Structures are given as C-alpha cells and as structure tokens.
Structure 1
Amino acid sequence: MEPVFSSEEYQDRLERLTAGLKARKLDAILLFAQESMYWLTGFDTFGFVFFQCLVVTADGRMALLTRSADLRQARLTSNIADIRIWVDRGQSDPSRDLKELMSDFDLLGARVGVEYDTHGMTGRVANQIESQLQTFCQLEDASYLVSQLRLIKSPAEIAYIERAAALCDDALDAALPLSVAGGSEADILAAMHAAVYSGGGDPPANDFIIGSGEAALLCRSKTGRRRLDQDDQLTLEWAGVYRHYHVAAMRTLLTGKPSDRHNELYRACHECIEAIEEILRPGNNFGSVFDRHAEVMDAFSLSRHRLNACGYSLGARFAPSWMEHQMFHTGNMQAIAPGMSLFVHMIIMDSDTGTAMTLGRTYLTTENAPRPLSRHPLSMIHR
C-alpha cells in the first residue's frame, strides 16, 4: 500500500513534534487525537472511539497502544513499528497497559503531555489515565501541540487539499440540476456524496448540512427529507474530502424568484466575504477576521441574525467534526500565516421573516491575497 506521505515528510513532522516537546520541557506526549496520529504516522482508522493512544517521546520513540481489531490497520496504513495490544475483557482498564508501555520507555517521574481536548479522549479515559499515572509521572495538558503544528500545510498536503477542492466543486455541480421546485433533498444529498466518492474522495468527518423551507435556517444536519416547493430556499454546507483533507463550502440556493429580503441578505454576505478577503493574509489574526465580519453585518443591522463565529481552519480530520480548533471569533490572537487552509462562512438566519442566506468557501493563505479554492463564483444561485 502506498503511504499517504513520504518517509521524509513523516520524519520532518516527527522532528517538529520532538522539538515542540523539548521547548515545553516535556519528556513525552500521549496522543489521543486520531488526526494527530494520522498526521504523524499515516495511521488511519475509526477505532479511536475505543481506548487508543500513541506514545511519542522527546527523543523520537513511538509506540501505539490499541485493540486487536486495529493491529493490521496500523501495520498497513502507518509507519509505527511498535504496536501493542490491550485485551478486551470484563472490567478492562487499558490505562494499566499504557503505564507498562510508559515504564518500558523509562518515563517514570517524567513530565508528560496529554491530548485531552479531542474526540478520542472520553471522560472515562481521562479518569483512568489520571488515576493510573498520578504517582507514576507528571501529566499536563498538551491538547494543541500537534494541532498547532498542523495549521500550516506542506506542499504535499496542499496537493491533497486542491484535490479535495475539486471534489467540493463537483458536489455542487451534481446538486444544481436537482435543486429545483419538486426536487428531493434525498436525491440532492445522494448526488453530492456520489460526486465525492466517485472522484476518489473519502467520507466527510461530519454530516453534510441540507435543509429547505424553515429548515434552511438550521446550521446542523437533522433526519428527515422533503421536496422543494416552487418558491423555496435550500441551505447546503458540504465538503470535498481527499485523504481526509477537507475543503468546505456553504450556499443558500433559491427556487423561483428571490425575495427582497433574500436579495438584501445576499448583499450583506457578499460584501462581508469581500471585506474579509482583504484581511485574510499575514499581518492579521483570526480575531480580526471575525471583527470585520461583525462590523459589516452590524452595518446591515444584522447583529441579531448573525453567528458569533465566521469560520475556522480545515485539514485532515476524523468524525465527528471537520472543524479544527482555531476559529474566527472575537479575541482569537492566532496569527494568519501563508499555507493555511481556512473556511470562511457568512451565515444569516432571520427567524423574524423565516429567511436564510449563507455564503462560504475555503481559501489557501499566501504571502499576499488569499487564494479561493473553488472554481465557482460567489453569485447568488436561484433556479
């Protein structure tokens, strides 16, 4: 099986991580985030829903503790040589196996970082490892150490992101002919997923959002599908996914003639995203992006109808969310740098009139102006 990245790239990532550990005076880190394991080693699974931990020391040693079901998965997809299995049994506590592994790595009395803020770390797992290791070593929160390293993408990652962008556009192309009066949400959703899969893509880390009528004002997926009316609104948020790298987009499509309120909200979205493009570049931070969003929206008297965030960083992610931890919200001082993949979304949900309007796409940051990762224009779509 071909590795996702070259051995040289994986080695560079390991060196960056070990340098980060040494800078924080950590002797090791316990990785529970699946995207961290994937980025560092290529290990690809959904078995992280059970106890699974990759131990990485400051001198570059690694060992994976996982279940037997993921043994061959790790051998086939990753470069991890040391794979250890904890056994499923009644009242099993894999943190004991983790302690033994760490003892083999001479980590008694060490300072060890832990990825707490991840879907692979449940409260039960946190309690187990803290109870097991409290007299063995000193634990501290290192949830974002690898996540920060992943913010700026390598040329190899950008190549996958560009492929994901093409699949994102293909999904919209598949949806457009079906997004007409009488069209089925189920058929639209199926066509979008088919476009991604037939293009060699992967499942998204969270559901595509699809909602029409009053459900067009929702920012999350829900069960149940309907057909579009003659004059209807359809909100879509989806992503092209390739090698787990996501490129997201968001649009509200209209059947029939746009209402005056739809036109007004679209103008606000379009003006806002154009204003953000002017500052989505080095020298600014994530908080300043949101502040510009709020400034434009509030000038349209839309403060009650906008959200408190307007996008986030994207990359290789696993269920249940394709969002990375860095978001565009007020006060976020994360600096914008070249090589970031950033999703910007304008979302206006006017519950007073039952009117929805969204506009969003993913950008690759450069030394200057951001590069949109879509061939589609930002014009209003009505059928």
Structure 2
Amino acid sequence: MAAILNVRAVVRGYRLTPTVSAELILLLDEHVSSVHSRTRISAKPLSIKTQELRVRAICAALVELREGGFALASPWNLRRKHIEWLVQRWVSVKQSGGTIENKLTYLRALADWMNKDNLVGTLDDYVDRRENGLARSYVAEVDRSWEANGVNAHEKIAEIASTCPRTAVQLRLQAAFGLRIEESFMLQPVRAVNDIDMLLEVTRGTKGGRDRVVPIEEKYAVLEAAARLANPLTGSTVPADRTLKQWRNWYYYVLERHGITKSGLGVTSHGLRHQYLQEVYEKWAGVAAPVKQAGKRPDAERHSQAIRRVVEAAGHSRPTKANAYISTFARQERLAKPTPTIDEVRSALEAAAGNKSHAALALGISRQALYRLLDAA
C-alpha cells in the first residue's frame, strides 16, 4: 500500500482560513499522492517527500495571496489573475526560474484536481525569461566532474571514510554507478543486484519514478562494501538511528568538513554523477565528451548511440537531457571563440539591418549571447 502524507498536519501549520483549509484538505486527501507529470513513466505514487513539497507549495501560495489582498474564500475561487500576481511577486523577489517553475507545477496539479485545466500556464506565459534573468540552459558549459576540478575521487573518498564510512560508501556508489544522491541513500545493495544479468536495479529514490538498470561490470566490491553497512531493517545504507532527513543533514556536514562544496574545492557530490556519465559517453563514442574540449568528434552514428547510453544510464526520458552532463560540440566550439567586441556587435547589427538573429549568426554566437553583450554595453 502506498504511503500517504498526513495532509492535515501540514495544512494546519499554515495561516489559512478554516474554510480554505477544510476544502484544501478534501482535495489533497483524494489527490496528494497522484502523479501529475507529462514525462513520468512509472505507475508508482509520489514519494512522501514530494507529496509534502507539493502541499507546502500550495499552502504557501494561498497564504501569499491572502497577504497580497486576495481574500479567497475557497481554493475553488482561484483565478488566472491570482496566478499572474503570484508569478510577478516571485519574479520581483528574485526567485530563480527553476523555483518558480516548480511552484507553477504544484499549482497546475491543484488546478487539474478542480478540473481547471487551463488555469495555470508555464513561466513563459507570464514573463520574458531573458529580460528577467530567468533563462535556463540545459547544456553544460563547464565540466563539473571531480576529475576536471583537480579532485581525485578515489583519494578524497578514502579520506572521507576516516570520518564517516557510510558517507564514503554512498559516494563510491555515486561514482561507480552514476547514482543521484537520494538513490545512493536508498539503494538496497543486497536486493538491487541482478546476478543473472550482472545489472544493478535502481528503483528507489529515482527522479520521476523512472526505474533503470546499470551494468555492474567489475564493481562488485563497491556493492559488497555497501552491503556490509546496510541497515538490517530497511536494507539501505542509512543508519537505523537516523531519519532520512537527519542523515541528509549529516551527509552534507561531512562533505563540507572535507571541502566538497562549490566554495571549497569547487565540486559537489553530484559531480561524481557527471563524471560517470562522461565516462559512459567516452566508452561508446570512442572520444571524450564534448565538455572535455578534447577537439575530437565521433561519427554521427557512434555519437547517437553514446547519447542513448548516457540517457539510459542517467534515468532520463529525453536525449537532450544528456547535454546537461556532457554538453554539445556546438556549444563548446562557440565558447572557445573570442567574445565579439561591442563595436563588432554594432557593425553586425548594421549589416543585418537590425535583425538580431542574422547578426548573431554572422558573429557566430547565439541570439541570447548577443542580447547579453548589448545589455552590458
């Protein structure tokens, strides 16, 4: 049976009117664990963590509306003007594009539960991302792997093991199999191994409920080390005397203590996943990933095959998601070119009769880069 969040306890922690609170609880009781996604492929219900994030985001938005002068008597009174006001508020306080998109996703789920399918749009429906500094790039421009930042993963993890063997073994799992942090916490090393096919079945803590399998190859020693530290009750490597939240806090404390932060050594544990997926690409493409700036390209067929392998290993649904880890050859070539001067930009615009797309093409840069240069002038 799926775990369901105690929505009453969460909702009553917010300053909502009794009527709004009661009607919201009715909606949440019925829908809080249901999936609302265009890309999720698993039939499994949402995790307790995601359920709580969803409830808190919806409650916080309703509180913000009341503080903004909108006296909603019921969640059913939610209108487009309310969503527009919320987005403008979030933009004005400099929330990131990703944060706002997540909030809109939660509100879109609420709207769908009330059969108001077109009530909540995407961020692009409300603001110009470029003008508000909310443009997001899904193509890596810098190499976030530990290797690229001068950190020897084997040596650093061995150092961390002296402080906390469990944290170290979770880092080893991330490095060996490209696991996300949550996946490394919740992996059950004994149960997840498929000895017949020599595959690791990643099914717990996955993003979007997308289960996947990862080749074990010669990495059984990592799984054996993890199995020795497995919690006898849950089978994961999270100790029995800590909740998942408590363990997460401890995990980040240990990493910070050893300099594994952007402000410390310039890397995070997520960089191990980047490193693993870059290695997957190189294995199948026969050349280094584009983000390595090695200057060599594979033929189109090998590149496509390598991209597919990266996406499968990462547990994503779209080929373009690979770009977040390995970048693209086009982006790296563009970054390697010297930045045009403002005089060159103006000359290109004049030659293109003011057409920014044509001017950017002539300069060999993106239109977004052209805008940035003009804004900085």
TM-score, normalised relative to structure 1: 0.31
Q: Which has the higher strand share?
A: 1
Q: Which has the higher helix share?
A: 2
Higher Cα Rg: structure 1 or 2? 2
TM-score, normalised relative to structure 2: 0.31
